[in-house]
Chains A and B, each alone.
Chain A
């Protein structure tokens, strides 16, 4: 029995990493948004599973938030933003997709190495989960720094945060998980609104580059 629960949890977490990779792979915005929805979905599933095996009912709330807010609302909002602001449909990358994937591999390996140094007596479930969570977090960051579109960066941030939630839920009996996920949802809402308010068409870059050159006393 325990073996099965472990395997399922493991599988879900692993698939989250996989989805992160799929995100890295995308070069169309809409596709990216869809993949992110999938990401959130998988997260919801794994959180739900954790709730089940730890029989911690409050985790279901987190799962629900993940499902409704991240898998449905946010992607739709972003969709609308893309339409409204007429953002290019394809994603400008700093590093090509191939190298990005390789970097991603490296990061996953790194997170494995780091985590496997954890002594095994801390229960394996947590250990594996953490390894995957770390991988997701790093991949999210990688996405933020290698994609130029504001939208894709938001997506990156959100998948990073999914990793956090995964870790938090994986940590058996951790308090405040729900609060934290709420807090983060607020944070993301802020970001999305911010993008909408500031009319950040293409990238975060534009804002401050222009500001630097036009407004600041710090002109070179």
Chain B
């Protein structure tokens, strides 16, 4: 009985993130458009795009291999699973202990690995540009992320998102420099990982600047749809990770009634909205940087992470 109950919640979680992901993207676009005094596409535009893409048939490059056709599913599945492992409105999900934060990041890593391979499969120069830049960025973003995980894990004494959230909400953590640094670094990493301005511009096809788009240049139809959905899920994932770690309030405990869960969902949606708004603001506020400035940008994130870890020992010797 309890198992079915848990399974139910797990399923609900998966569906929720799947449904909310395009919405978040649409929302961010809307915010940006509004800030630019434009009408902007309607909120549900991403859904429409996805459905349209799914209906189209796939145009495949002549020498694309079987791997090229499998990758979209791998990427989508990996990202989806990762996203659904993050506690959003209710902690202590059924499978949440099957992968801790490190594993979630690694899952995203595998998704990226295959996506980069896809960029190389057709054998075009643009694909190469995209993949090589992507892995370069990742090679800096992942250590930074790990450092952040260290900081948080050392504070919370765990890498398990649910227990970390529980610890945070308990308020034992208090207000700390390390936490602030970690938050900063995490935001920077999130921006880089989701190919947002200033690291990358999801809306451009100007070959010299694009990274993510260059990799998926050869994709079309349902494949493209899956990959877009995957990237939308990724954005959602990062926002909800930040939310669950730094604003853990409102997340319903495992033994919670319907009301608590309602509160949980509501608060989660609000958090997403706030996150999206801030992201939109940020993106409109600054300009994209040259590709080879990115290492500096991420290096700062890495430094923040490391600094946070070391400051812990100073602030309180664990």
Chains A and B share a contact (CB less than 8 Å) = no
